[in-house]
Structure 1
Amino acid sequence: MTNRIPACQLYLISPPDVGSDFAARLNRALGAGPVAAFQFRVKDIEQHEAAKLAAPLQEICAAHDVAFIVNDDAGLAQRLGADGVHLGQSDGSPKDVRDTIGADMQIGVTCHNSRHLAMEAGEQGADYVAFGAFFPSTTKQSDHTADVSLIEFWSDLFEIPSVAIGGITPDNCQPLIEAGADFLAVSGAVWNGDEVAVIKAFGNALAKFKRVRKPG
């Protein structure tokens, strides 16, 4: 007997500039189709200013029942009462961050193209692991290229959810969904165009595939 597992979901990441009309764009995007999580990712901004930028976006996410994740900064995540924090390899271990933020907040970890880093993150209490980049990205340069086989390996052996990231579009996401990715992390594909149209296109792509765990 096979066991059904949750369908692959969309994990939306902010562009570098979240000022101006971005709150309105985010509201339109989240209203266009199902999004599981939104990551607030800004760089080189003092925490107080970052909190001011984040607050209206967090309210929009709450209104749409979308998890609000803070990139890199566990202190900011705590300050905001965010749903989670996403850690890079230089942002501290999940175990140490967990000791600081407590048990309720989700912790995700960037693991590039490394099985070892992902297993290590899992052992230290990560709630999800992120692999990539799978395709060239205009949003963030990466020195690491991941293969779809890494998603297959992970989904076959581990319960911890995986996030695929890097240049993902509605047109190229099919292999990642079929390989077992639990989330598709997307940014430029959405914000560099019509966010409503692109979110709907992702929704259509995700809806095509039924996810069934192999017996074993």
Structure 2
Amino acid sequence: MAIEPASAEDFAAFLGIEDARPACQIYLISPPELDLGAHAVALQAALAAGAPVAAYQLRMKDHADAAILKAAERLLPICQAADVAFILNDRADLAKACGADGVHLGQKDGAVEAARALLGHDAQIGVTCHGSRHLAMEAGEAGASYVAFGAFFPTHTKLVEHHATPDILSWWTAISPIPCVAIGGITADNCGPLVRAGADFLAVSSAVWAFPDGPAAAVSRLADEIHSSKP
């Protein structure tokens, strides 16, 4: 499944036509500590909530290849059944091996061109750009499917070394039709400025998996906030 605007909307967005981009959607990221059986149940609940979830990223840093492939084997069919893109973090080779829809690359995870050659024309290839306009331009020129900016807020999911502000989202959506993902400490309570600034996707992890009322309630609440915050 693609997580990019249709071609006609791409062109309209590039020309700066108001409301040309699709509404902001949710991009789920797996929790730092993953109990595969429990997480599979949680993922099914999140995707069954009816909220606009476009993608799910399996992020298992410092795990053995076999463990990553085992998790992908369990979780990818859940995403396919819900028509949600399944993205693997960091490893284009494992994305190829498990049949993922694409890969998300950090700045040290290889070139977009190499991942594209391995995964094919239709693969979704995202690139972490921190708070850098230069990195985003490079990623776009290299053929990235989307760029990711952050962290926008403090987060316990990973060590934050780079920070971003909402103005980078406004800048990017004004100059490029390539979708942008906002990431880092995003919750239903703080997502409004990012939606209004032009984020195409909000990447969330603990805000969903650690929500007291469960993942279905979390994505529903986030979707409500996205809808009420749209420009």
Q: 1:31-57 CA deviation, whole Å, 9 max, x = no partner?
A: 112210000000222222211111121
Give the match for residue 49 of structure 1: 67
**1:26 corresponds to:** 43
Shift of residue 3, structure 1, vs aligned partner: 4.9
Picking from 149, 152, 156, the partner of 1:138 is 156
Q: Aligned equivalents of 1:24 and 1:2: distance in 2?
A: 39
SS in 1 for 2:28: strand
> Please, what is the CA RMSD of the aligned residues?
1.3
Answer whether contact 1:190 1:199 (CA < 8 A) is retained: yes
1:199 paired with 2:215, answer no
Q: What are the within-5 Å matches in structure 2 for residues 14-93 of structure 1?
A: 14-16=30-32, 17-32=34-49, 33-93=51-111
* Kept after mapping to 2: 8 A contact 1:15/1:191: yes
Query: Normalization by structure 1: what TM-score?
Result: 0.94
Q: Are 1:68 and 1:83, in contact at CA under 8 Å, matched by a contact in 2?
A: yes
> Which residue number in structure 1 is paired with residue 4 of structure 2?
none
In structure 1, runs of 5+ residues without a counterpart are 212-216
Quote the Cα distance in structure 2 between the aligned partners of 1:4 and 1:44: 40
Q: Which residue of 2 aligns with 1:11?
A: 27
Cα distance in structure 2, aligned partners of 1:199 and 1:18: 20
User: CA shift at 1:5, angstroms?
Assistant: 1.9
Aligned counterparts of 2:126 and 2:35: Cα–Cα separation in 1: 22
Distance 1:207 1:25, change over 3 A: same
Deviation for aligned residue 1:18: 4.1
Question: What does residue 168 of structure 1 align with?
Answer: 186
User: Against the structure 1 CA distance between its residues 2 and 44, is the aligned structure 2 distance closer, same or farther, given a 3 Å change threshold?
Assistant: closer
Q: In the aligned structure 1, how far is the partner of 2:139 from the partner of 2:18?
A: 28
| Pairing of 1:150-161 with structure 2 (within 5 A) | 150-161=168-179
Cα 1:161–1:96 shift into 2, 3 Å: same
Q: Percent identity?
A: 54
Counterpart residue number, 2:146: 128
Contact 2:27 2:202 in 1 (8 A): yes
